[in-house]
Structure 1
């Protein structure tokens, strides 16, 4: 993208991130594009071949705000002329550090991101667009009741499904009442069906949709949490969605994107939408006001086939943040590709050499993480083909991937809708 190349020549861009993978949407060998990250997230090859990476070594991996305060970061940025900084997810702590050092931070304001993304404030922010959500209300846990019909509750702040609970019996309500009596929750009708994610770029007044992907959620052995997102499949949407549904996705995306633009948002956000199995109706589930985790691999897949005047999702993100003039660019579509993440669980706390050998034989790329907290990323597996046959059902390749990662070696060909095994 020529305009982006010219913008980088005028002043350096520095992505500060806990995990290197998040910044890989653009090659780290791109002139004047730098990455500051933890050494624990880099490999020997990264350090040998990528001179634009500053890797910081400490006893424990540092979060972004701690990386920003590190003496090596301060020294590195002092050696650059007018550096512009980018982070994965902005916070008020990050903004404070940047103000203190007079660094230019490109991310939209953290306050706006919180209003848009948090489960309670999101309802008010959506305004009339809240009609796109499933039937919902806001209450406190003390007021929760059981009527015999399952429903979803969400705490105001959550991440990758960890704050989402499917209430299926009275005992769950009793526990919630006793543990969090005064805590606000969003109560939502449970919609059974596949979830799809669209990585959307707000570029001035223009709304650019990335390729729709199926959100892989709650499947073993990758997670023990039923609503935890563990991957993406870019092939399944075109196989399972009708033309009308694809049009409805686009309409909803434009509406939410325009509201974000009016609020002053720039760059990437992620929209999660569910297709109700019984009716085929589409509901908005989430607006994630940040760079979605699937952005990097989506952009890497896109860069392999690049027509003229068509750009990757990550390039569009950077162009929007840098206020580059929009010249009718379009984001590259994808026909296939997938990734799935093994999270830390009670059964899986490390990755064996045998697993990595099996993945290599399956022509899967992978990224290892040094994490030990339950639910954290342990292994990211990336493929140029899809791994899903249907909603929560692996295809033949997906079954082999799951079997390679599963210490219990259960039969993943018997997975049924909902991710539970028979």
Structure 2
């Protein structure tokens, strides 16, 4: 069995006096939790503590009073801090098949597991933290309670004071401003970065124009994005390739509502051939941290049938070179964006989606994601496997205003080292609102068997480096564990599980390997039937 094993979990902890009444329920085992006591004031230092590796990160976080709680829809999405925060635990929404395996690494409180049934009222941090059982849990922890969030919401800011919480996230107003595609276009213009020809226009104006009119402005193929859809992953994105696809899209938008959201504006851009990729940034007081270019898996073969296009399905990390000119240009644009965000008060991780035109050695920034991105936690796990300080550790120290110092140039140099691995998201795919009876499967290591599309379970494993070769993969972050119950999903892009690979899963042109495609198809069939 291979599991994540942070050093501070190597021995059971004694239950301390005055500890929280929910500790046993949270840990899922008889042992207690080590809780840091104190007033919550930051430690006084004559100089900033150096941050060079995981050991330094453990020391820094160990010096902070209070309790740290990762908040997410799934437990695995918040797994990284378990490697460097001694008092860390996770509160999640979903009851997934990997919970027992992850609890061997970190205490996990699953709301659905506790109530014994699916909880579908709201799927963001606000609804999770507002649940009475979760509030009771958090109230019993040693204060202050530091909540590590995917992203911030106004409702959380309005109640954090009365609850004594500290939010490890940027202000919600800033996050919402940066997520607006109109802000993005303005930023690209101000920074004079290469831009894909396009414009943001009212929906009514788009609907009144013909394919001939818009193709005359943006080319025979163009991309339409619904500006009011702020949830990413390809939601609200359409590729128009001919008069029929334009007419079909206009008919779908006649009611001016998509995915339950009223649509007021659309973004139109020319379609440019190239490879989809992303870059993770971390805005710090010391400068901007920048990851290596990461190949994205978009519109994978196992995701056919979607009306929308540009569906994000995962990443592939490899040691293939993008070329000096592309790498240099990607870094230049990343630093420009990072410094611009720093000037607005943004701190911590954000992501940019880019398009790499390898033929012309050009880089175009397509989108800004002011939050954790789809590359995490896999990127952090790959970095730690190479002995590199994960970007998430710096991200949290920035948001918590903890004094520290880093060698920004040395860390950026380490982040440019090639990583090898990949991950894929397996989606529900079916029409929204259709009941599904899902089958639970073991979390762990699997191997494709023969040519029949099946896979065999080998052993429990929660580490991406467990697989040997492309024929092996790890299933985590799902599926939902409610055998015999019909579940209803309101989003066909809801996630069933994540597959992790120890090797790259795409070729030099970004095409998904046959083995990775087969693994995703098997997982879907095994879960959905």
TM-based fold match above 0.5: yes
In the TM superposition, 1:19-418 aligns within 5 A as: 19-27=74-82, 30-38=85-93, 40-41=95-96, 43=98, 45-46=100-101, 49-50=104-105, 52-56=107-111, 57-58=114-115, 59-61=117-119, 63-78=124-139, 79-129=141-191, 131-144=193-206, 145=209, 146-147=211-212, 148=215, 149-156=220-227, 157-158=229-230, 159-168=232-241, 169=243, 170-172=246-248, 174-175=250-251, 178-180=254-256, 183-222=264-303, 224=306, 225-235=308-318, 238-239=319-320, 241-276=322-357, 278-306=359-387, 310-323=388-401, 324-328=403-407, 330=411, 332=415, 333-346=417-430, 350=438, 358=448, 359=455, 360=457, 362-367=471-476, 368-370=478-480, 372=489, 373-402=491-520, 404-405=522-523
Contact kept in structure 1, 2:424 and 2:520, CA below 8 Å: no
Residue 312 of structure 1: CA displacement? Answer: 1.1
Question: How far, CA to CA, are the matches of 1:267 and 1:155 in structure 2?
Answer: 27
Residue 195 of structure 1: CA displacement? Answer: 1.0
Structure 2 residue 93 is the aligned partner of structure 1 residue 15? no
Residue 275 of structure 1: CA displacement? Answer: 1.5
Question: How far, CA to CA, are the matches of 1:122 and 1:318 in structure 2?
Answer: 25
- Which 4+ residue blocks in structure 1 deviate beyond 4 angstroms? 347-357, 405-408
Residue 207 of structure 1: CA displacement? Answer: 0.4
Contact kept in structure 2, 1:346 and 1:374, CA below 8 Å: yes
Question: How far, CA to CA, are the matches of 1:43 and 1:401 in structure 2?
Answer: 18
1:10-53 Cα offsets, whole Å, 9 max, x none, are 22322111111211122268411121113503635247524532
1:312-363 Cα offsets, whole Å, 9 max, x none, are 1222222222333232151543431000111111399656869966355632
What residue ranges of structure 2 are gaps of 5+ in the alignment? 1-53, 258-262, 449-454, 459-470, 481-486
Question: How far, CA to CA, are the matches of 1:91 and 1:127 in structure 2?
Answer: 28
Residue 109 of structure 1: CA displacement? Answer: 0.8
Question: How far, CA to CA, are the matches of 1:81 and 1:353 in structure 2?
Answer: 38
Residue 209 of structure 1: CA displacement? Answer: 1.0
Question: How far, CA to CA, are the matches of 2:439 and 2:97 in structure 1?
Answer: 17
What residue ranges of structure 1 are gaps of 5+ in the alignment? 409-422
1:42-81 Cα offsets, whole Å, 9 max, x none, are 6352475245322323332453112211233323322312
| Greater mean deviation of Cα atoms: 358-367 or 200-209 | 358-367
Scaled by the length of structure 1, what TM-score is found?
Answer: 0.86
1:260-281 Cα offsets, whole Å, 9 max, x none, are 1111111110111001355332
Question: How far, CA to CA, are the matches of 1:295 and 1:404 in structure 2?
Answer: 24
- Quick one: structure 1 residues 337 and 356, their matched pair in 2 at CA, closer, same or farther if it must change by over 3 Å? closer
Residue 161 of structure 1: CA displacement? Answer: 0.6
Scaled by the length of structure 2, what TM-score is found?
Answer: 0.69
Contact kept in structure 2, 1:42 and 1:55, CA below 8 Å: no
Contact kept in structure 1, 2:82 and 2:106, CA below 8 Å: no
